[in-house]
Each structure stands twice: as C-alpha cells, then as structure tokens.
Amino acid sequence: MKILLLGYGKMGKTIEKIALDKGHTIVGRIDVQNRTDMDKLTAGDVDVAIEFSSPESAYTNIKYCLEKGWPIVCGTTGWLEHRSEIEALCQEKGGAFFYASNYSIGVNLFFRLNRQLAKLMNGQGYTASMTEIHHIHKLDAPSGTAITLAEGISAEADAIKGWKLAPQESEGFVSITAERQGEVPGTHIIRYDSHVDSIEISHTAHNRQGFASGAVVSAEWLVGKKGVFGMDDLLSNLD
C-alpha cells in the first residue's frame, strides 16, 4: 500500500514506522515546509493519505486529497467547523474519507463504556464533568476525544445540553477542564458527582503506538471503499 503522510511530527513518524514494519511504502512526507511537494504526485502514486497535521492545515489537506481522488484518513482535531463541507465534497467526488477524534481501539471501547454509563446515570441526580490532559504541543482545547466523550454523554443524558470548556458556567453542560503537561500522550477522566458519592472512569494512553496503529489499520480498511466513515464502521466490520 502506497501511503502519503500529511504531517510529519511525532505522530507522523510513529505511523511511518508501523506502516513500514507492515510492508507498506511511504511515497511522501508532507509538512508545512514542503507542502508543494504534493503537487508532484499523480493520482496513481498514492493509495491512501494519512493526515495528522495541525488544525490550520487539515481542511486544506483533506480537500486537496479528495479532489485528487485519494482516500484519506484524518486524525487531526480542531477543524471540525468544516466537517459538513468536507463530507459533502467526499460524496460529490465519489471519494473516501475516514475521520476519528481518536484511533486507539482502547479509547473507542472507552467511548462505548462512556455512553453506557451515561445511560445508566440518566435521571439519577448526578452532574458530569471531565478532565483531559495532553502534551504541551497540542494546539486545540478541549481535545477531540473529550468532545466525542461529551457528545456521547449528552446523547444519553436528558439534562445535558452539550459541553463547556472550564471555567465557563456549565450548569446543564459537561464541564471540561483541559490541562497541558509535558509529553503526556492523552488522559481522559469522566466524573459523576452527587451529594452522596462520586463515580469516575478514565482512560490513560501510555504512548502514541495505539493511536498510530489504529490509523494504519483504518487506512488499510479504507482502500477500495467510497463514502464517509469512522471508527464505528471499522469496529463493526472487525466484530
């Protein structure tokens, strides 16, 4: 499989190692300094692109790949105000687009656990809050994973209307505290509090391997397909 890497930071380099270990070929490593190198690639040079760049670059990168006819897997967060436009372009071009806020299989199981707990807690008199901790290089806050978790809670809890980033007033919302510390790959803690007790669930990533491996598996799965996909589609296929 011929892979184009869009974003060549720590995640891009980890994806590269995993892809090469699996026998794939890296046909390009595109970052801010050499973005014009993409113009040298023809449609047949790329089987799939994997995009882990920055919120500022993601929209342009995804649009470029869809217009070229390249399937694209994206894990960049912070650009989702353009998501409906990208999905419409994908359908218009008959392309393939795969987006997830987090590619770790463990995190996606955590998403399911989170929704199940929110359903059980619905109407029981608890307030929900969240803390997400990431490395100091992460540009967006809250994390895309935290937003996905909060959306899962609001989908199951009648009294929750969405999320607010602390310290904003958060009555009726999931309050998300975003912390940036050192090189932390990602920790998400969800807490339910009442006047009698508290319940807490958490997921802690120990390194980037789980995210990178999931992105490569998603790219392998996407090749040959048309449409807009996410981790639920992948996991359902693997069940």
Task: Give me the CATH number covering residue 125.
Answer: 3.30.360.10
42/70 same-domain check: yes
Annotated active-site positions, please? 134, 138
Which residue has tokens 């967060």? 77
109/95 same-domain check: no
Structural domain of residue 213, as residue ranges? 2-103+209-238
Q: Is the peptide bond before 167 cis (omega within 30 degrees of 0)?
A: yes
109/74 same-domain check: no
* Span of 4-13, 66-75, 100-109 with lowest mean pLDDT: 100-109
pLDDT > 60? residue 54: yes
3-state secondary structure of 168: coil
Which residue has tokens 């990431």? 134
User: What gap in Å lies between CA 179 and CA 61, rounded to an integer?
Assistant: 28
User: How many other β-carbons are positioned within 10 Å of the β-carbon of residue 116?
Assistant: 12
**Prediction pTM value:** 0.79
| Residues above pLDDT 90, as percent of the chain | 83
User: What gap in Å lies between CA 215 and CA 91, rounded to an integer?
Assistant: 22
DSSP state of 43: G
Task: Tell whether 103 is in a known binding site.
Answer: yes
Task: Tell whether 101 is in a known binding site.
Answer: yes
Task: Tell whether 135 is in a known binding site.
Answer: yes
Task: Tell whether 42 is in a known binding site.
Answer: no
Task: Tell whether 236 is in a known binding site.
Answer: no
User: What gap in Å lies between CA 177 and CA 193, rounded to an integer?
Assistant: 15
10/84 same-domain check: yes
Give the count of domains, the chain. 2
Contact 68, 28 (CB under 8 A): no
User: What gap in Å lies between CA 58 and CA 38, rounded to an integer?
Assistant: 14
- Short-list 56, 63, 47, CA closest to 5: 47
| Residues above pLDDT 70, as percent of the chain | 99
